Amino acid sequence: MDRDYTDKNPALGALYASHLDDVAARHDRALEQAGASHAVIYSGGPKVAFLDDYHHPFKANPHFVSWAPLTNLPYSYIVYTPGETPVLIYFQPQDYWHVVPGAPDGYWTRHFDVRVVHSIEDVAAHLPENRENCIAIGEFDDEELAFGIERVNPTTAINMLHYARGVKTEYELAALRLASQRAVSGHHAAEVAFRQELPEFEIHRAYCKAVSHTDPELPYSNIVALNAHGAVLHYTDLDRSKPDSFSSFLIDAGAQVHGYASDITRTYSDGDTRFQDLIDRMDAMQREIVSKVEVGVDYRDLHIGTHKMLAEVLVDAELATGDPDMLLETGVTSAFFPHGLGHLLGIQVHDVGGFMENESGTTIDPPSGHPFLRLTRVLEENMVLTIEPGLYVIDMLLENLRGTPAEKLVNWDTIEWLRPFGGIRIEDDVRVLVSDRENLTRDAFAAAS
């Protein structure tokens, strides 16, 4: 690949020092709130499968990744003391069964006091002596890995850190742009594979090859759905055989750079002009929603507004009749679009803090009747979020409309036409600006064309 996604990336290296200053400032405030002197951030450990000696794929603690671009360094620790260079306890086991982490190398190393250890027992010597003045952040499946630190993930500190992560630094924004660019190369490869009428499994393989990811390296399991499978919101089965016909293709797939994720969805038609017209109408609607993203917008209002816009699409496509308010109130729009409009995006695909009103941990409930909305905050500058409206034929939800006033508002004949296509989702990753927005996804597609 022609882009530098390694930990030697000069563009990311130039922004990293300022990013660390912001991360340190967040921890300064969190430590002050917790009445502690040191934060010990644990990278985490791989989990062993039940009744086996096989480990599940390792997922690093996102708090650890926010400090250093080390997504595959289990049993390691960062020790942060305000005013001092952070210590990185870099675990490099002596192991001939597996490949062990190489020597610390990259733009991040000069910002840490790196201490390489070869056994878990060696970690203790590099931790603050007075454990009572420490807080630990991470998942400790074995309490011994906390080395006597009793305050693990204290609520006050964690709330502050989670709330702050909603706003991205320039370094994080650069990583997220690279993640979008990386994913777009996969989306192009997947569309080509679809046009070649390859089965879902082979389309998935084409995507992974283009982004240079193994399955565990993907930020989430790819949704590669042909035909009616597009109506299964989290379809990940990947048929190995070709379907009898190729009508539609929905792909929801991302990539990651240093742990920062992209999350992109596109839907394609295989020549049916009526379905292509509906895709085009949904694409136009999605662009209109994106155009409303800016500082000060309540994301709940954006979600409800999307349902009203979708109601117009349903009427135009002869899937339903009635005014937008009626279709919303009777549950028709929710039957076609049951998930939330989007979510925060960052180190985690569904990044933390989406429900938080403030750093004290007060939460904001989703609108009544919309329980799956993952973002309820008022938008702030440099948040990054997804905008992903959808329209699907989900029989169990549509059948719930039978026997209600909504039944007469639905055109069941048109649903029969749409069912073999499954559904449509268009998803972009968007940065929030003052009276503006940056569409990371559309920019990446434009740059690749």
- pLDDT of 107 > 80? The answer is yes
| C-alpha triplet 211, 71, 106: angle, nearest 5° | 90
Cα Rg of the chain (Å, integer): 24
Phi, psi of 215 (to 5 degrees): -55, -45
CA dist 359 and 357 (Å) reads: 7
pLDDT of residue 5: 83
- pLDDT of 1 > 50? The answer is no
Q: Which domains does the chain have, with CATH numbers?
A: 10-164 (3.40.350.10), 170-448 (3.90.230.10)
Which tens digit of pLDDT belongs to each residue from 364-422? 999 999 999 999 999 999 999 999 999 999 999 999 999 999 999 999 999 999 999 99
Question: From the centroid of its chain, how far is CA 24?
Answer: 24
Which tens digit of pLDDT belongs to each residue from 317-357? 999 999 999 999 999 999 999 999 999 999 999 999 999 99
CA dist 225 and 265 (Å) reads: 11
Q: pLDDT band for position 4 (50/70/90)?
A: confident
pLDDT of residue 2: 54
Q: What average pLDDT score do residues 18-43 get?
A: 97
pLDDT of residue 99: 87
Place of tokens 């296509």: 421
Which tens digit of pLDDT belongs to each residue from 48-88? 999 998 899 999 999 999 999 999 999 999 999 999 999 99
Which tens digit of pLDDT belongs to each residue from 90-103? 999 999 888 899 99
Residue 22 corresponds to which amino acid? D
The half-sphere exposure of 266 on its side-chain side, counting CA atoms within 13 A, is 15
Q: What is the mean pLDDT of the chain?
A: 96
